[in-house]
Amino acid sequence: MAKPLRIGLVGYGFMGRAHSNAYRQVNQFFELEHRPVMAAACARNEAKLKAFADNWGWESTETDWRRLIDRPDIDAIDIGSPNNTHSEIALAAAAAGKMVLCEKPLAMDGAEARRMTQAVEQASVPNFVWFNYRRVPAIALARQVVQEGRIGRPFHYRAQYLQDWTISPDLPLGGATLWRLDADVAGSGVSGDLVAHSIDTAMWLNGPITSVTGMTEIFVKERALQDDPSQTKAVTIDDACQFMCRFGNGSLGLFESTRYARGRKNYNTLELNGEKASVYFDLEDPHRLQYYDHGDVGHLHGWRGIHVTGFEHPYMKNWWVPGCTIGYEHTFINSLADFLKGLETGVPSAPTFRDALHTQLVLDAVLESARTGSWIDIDYAD
Ligand SMILES: NC(=O)c1ccc[n+]([C@@H]2O[C@H](COP(=O)([O-])OP(=O)(O)OC[C@H]3O[C@@H](n4cnc5c(N)ncnc54)[C@H](O)[C@@H]3O)[C@@H](O)[C@H]2O)c1
């Protein structure tokens, strides 16, 4: 009989749905010692929250996250609310001795991420950040290929994360749905929202980034407020962010992210080029890992598209038969399964808060470089 793990979820938006779906399904597809119990969902709008809880099967609701944390029947707090709420909730949860799962970016900036990391480590509570793209089977296979030494000496890492939904100057900012455009709530723009994913994946595949130089741009400098269209607010988030970097292993990195790439909806790509081989991934073709192996016989040299759906591929033996695909939502189920396995084995599943702190320090350095126009070395030490 699996051990119940009683979850308190904060936020019923996009991630509230993705996480709820993961809690409902994880034990159906993974053999685990723990069984998440959907004990309580929390958000401020009671009527919408109740409808959400009924739809997804949450046992109870709370309209104040402090009450959720005070409840003795909750083992783990899962933070799926906007970025400016993460720190206060995580600090209180750690102080109450609860496990903490948190959405990315971990914090508004590196200093806040450091305080959160110290809090969960001092409280010795299991902690985890939902950088879900690590759990795309094709990206996990890319990591396996690197770990097996097939790439050889790495030379170049390249990542793009492009969207197009903020191009219209008529789009307002703030409020319940457009908080990503408000620096007071989001902390930063595409850097925290999109580049954070690219950096997490990059450092997982290719090791730590040691120095950066970047630039950012705000294309629409002022927008009406969503909650009061007669008022405007200066836009201070980064609409676009590009940076170059050096990795500790001697390779060079190039990252680009924007919400102004017309036609690109959630275009998330990566490529790693080494002496012996290269890998390439594109989230719009999520089941394929492109692989080029210089060791192939010369007349057969070429990129091969590996359809990552076999039983021998990461995560796929838990799903359907070879050739059948899984989707975006499964990356959250795979993430949750790994977190629960970490509880079982005592080997914490990454990314922990400390891993996400490192990503946040790279983001801080990119934004500082964009302000100062200089190269910034990254100091990961506490
Ligand atoms: N892992 C990913 O790929 C991914 C994707 C999207 C969003 N995110 C992250 O997830 C978090 C939430 O994003 P989203 O897209 O789900 O946002 P959303 O706007 O869809 O939902 C946010 C939810 O938080 C609730 N909320 C806001 N303030 C609150 C408070 N003080 N107390 C309780 N509830 C509160 C809102 O009512 C809403 O239910 C963000 O940190 C975001 O960066 C991660």
Q: Are residues 85 and 140 in the same domain?
A: no
Q: What are 145-152's contacts with CB under 8 Å, separation 24+? A: 145/277, 145/279, 145/289, 145/291, 146/205, 146/206, 146/272, 146/279, 150/276, 150/277, 150/293, 151/272, 151/274, 151/275, 151/276, 151/277, 151/278, 151/279, 152/274, 152/275, 152/276, 152/277
In ligand 1, the atom with minimum distance to the C-alpha of 45 is: 37
Q: In the numeric block, which tokens belong to residue 283?
A: 């989230």
Q: Are residues 171 and 263 in the same domain?
A: yes
Q: In the numeric block, which tokens belong to residue 314?
A: 């990461």
Cβ(106) – ligand 1 distance below 6 Å:
no
**Confidence class for position 2, pLDDT limits 50, 70, 90:** confident
Q: Are residues 172 and 299 in the same domain?
A: yes
Q: Are residues 123 and 189 in the same domain?
A: no
Q: What are 323-327's contacts with CB under 8 Å, separation 24+? A: 325/286, 325/287, 326/137, 327/286
Quote the pLDDT of residue 1. Answer: 73
Q: Are residues 354 and 271 in the same domain?
A: yes
Distance 370 CA to ligand 1 centre (A): 27
Look at residue 382 and tell me if it is in a domain.
Answer: no
Cα separation, 217 vs 214, in Å, equals: 11
Question: What is the arithmetic mean of pLDDT over 312-330?
Answer: 98
Q: How many domains does the chain have?
A: 2
**CATH code at 21?**
3.40.50.720
Question: What is the arithmetic mean of pLDDT over 179-202?
Answer: 97
Cβ(328) – ligand 1 distance below 6 Å:
no
Look at residue 381 and tell me if it is in a domain.
Answer: no
User: pLDDT tens across 239-252, in order?
Assistant: 999 999 999 999 99
Cβ(44) – ligand 1 distance below 6 Å:
yes
Cβ(163) – ligand 1 distance below 6 Å:
no
Look at residue 45 and tell me if it is in a domain.
Answer: yes
Question: What is the arithmetic mean of pLDDT over 345-351?
Answer: 97
Last residue of a domain, one of 132, 151, 173: 132
Phi/psi-derived region of residue 152, left when phi > 0, alpha when psi is between -120 and 50, beta in every other case:
left
Testing ligand 1's pocket by substitution, the residue of 81, 132, 184 carrying the most ligand atoms inside 8 A of its CB is 81
Cβ(214) – ligand 1 distance below 6 Å:
no
Alpha carbon dihedral 269, 310, 148, 357, in 10-degree steps, equals 50
User: pLDDT tens across 109-132, in order?
Assistant: 999 999 999 999 999 999 999 999
Query: Among 162, 148, 231, 147, which residue's Cα sits nearest to residue 193?
Result: 162
Q: Are residues 147 and 35 in the same domain?
A: no
Dihedral over Cα of 263, 267, 273, 276: its sign: negative
Residue with CA at minimum distance from ligand 1 atom 15: 14
pLDDT at 363 > cutoff 90: yes
Question: What is the arithmetic mean of pLDDT over 11-19?
Answer: 98
In ligand 1, the atom with minimum distance to the C-alpha of 17 is: 16
Look at residue 345 and tell me if it is in a domain.
Answer: yes
Q: Which residues contact 147 (CB under 8 A, 6 or more apart)?
A: none
Q: Are residues 303 and 345 in the same domain?
A: yes
Q: With contact defined as beta carbons under 8 Å apart, do 256 and 160 qualify?
A: yes
Cα separation, 371 vs 262, in Å, equals: 26
Q: Are residues 71 and 106 in the same domain?
A: yes
Residue with CA at minimum distance from ligand 1 atom 32: 43
Question: What is the arithmetic mean of pLDDT over 61-65?
Answer: 98
Last residue of a domain, one of 99, 117, 132: 132
Q: What are 373-376's contacts with CB under 8 Å, separation 24+? A: 374/213, 375/211, 375/212, 375/213, 376/211, 376/212, 376/213
pLDDT at 319 > cutoff 80: yes
Cα separation, 261 vs 240, in Å, equals: 9
Cβ(9) – ligand 1 distance below 6 Å:
no
Is the bond leading into 126 cis (omega within 30 degrees of zero)? no
Look at residue 76 and tell me if it is in a domain.
Answer: yes
Residue 7 domain boundaries? 3-132
Q: Are residues 48 and 157 in the same domain?
A: no
Q: pLDDT > 70: what percent of the chain?
A: 100
Cβ(189) – ligand 1 distance below 6 Å:
no
Look at residue 108 and tell me if it is in a domain.
Answer: yes
Quote the pLDDT of residue 212. Answer: 98
Residue with tokens 């197009």: 164
**CATH code at 369?**
3.30.360.10
Quote the pLDDT of residue 33. Answer: 98
Distance 103 CA to ligand 1 centre (A): 8
Query: Among 347, 335, 259, 341, which residue's Cα sits nearest to residue 31?
Result: 341
Q: pLDDT > 90: what percent of the chain?
A: 99
Look at residue 30 and tell me if it is in a domain.
Answer: yes
Q: Are residues 202 and 230 in the same domain?
A: yes
Q: Are residues 207 and 328 in the same domain?
A: yes
Rounded to whole angstroms, what are the CA distances from 192 to 30, 119, 181, 209? 31, 21, 11, 16
Question: What is the arithmetic mean of pLDDT over 306-331?
Answer: 98
Distance 308 CA to ligand 1 centre (A): 30
* For the chain, the helix, strand and coil percentages under 3-state DSSP, each to the nearest 5: 35, 25, 35
DSSP string spanning 226-248?
SS-TT-EEE--S-SEEEEEEEET
User: pLDDT tens across 211-238, in order?
Assistant: 999 999 999 999 999 999 999 999 999 9
Q: Fill in the DSSP letter of residue 173.
A: B
Q: Are residues 122 and 249 in the same domain?
A: no
Q: How far apart are the first and last CA of the chain?
A: 41
Look at residue 101 and tell me if it is in a domain.
Answer: yes
**E strand or H helix at 252:** strand 252-258
Last residue of a domain, one of 74, 100, 132: 132
Q: pTM higher than 0.85 for the full model? A: yes
How much is the mean pLDDT over the chain? 98
**Confidence class for position 289, pLDDT limits 50, 70, 90:** very high
Distance 272 CA to ligand 1 centre (A): 31
**Confidence class for position 139, pLDDT limits 50, 70, 90:** very high
Question: What is the arithmetic mean of pLDDT over 73-90?
Answer: 98
**Confidence class for position 364, pLDDT limits 50, 70, 90:** very high
**Antiparallel, parallel or unpaired: β 154-162 and 303-307:** unpaired
Residue with CA at minimum distance from ligand 1 atom 40: 82
Question: What is the arithmetic mean of pLDDT over 57-86?
Answer: 98
Distance 282 CA to ligand 1 centre (A): 25
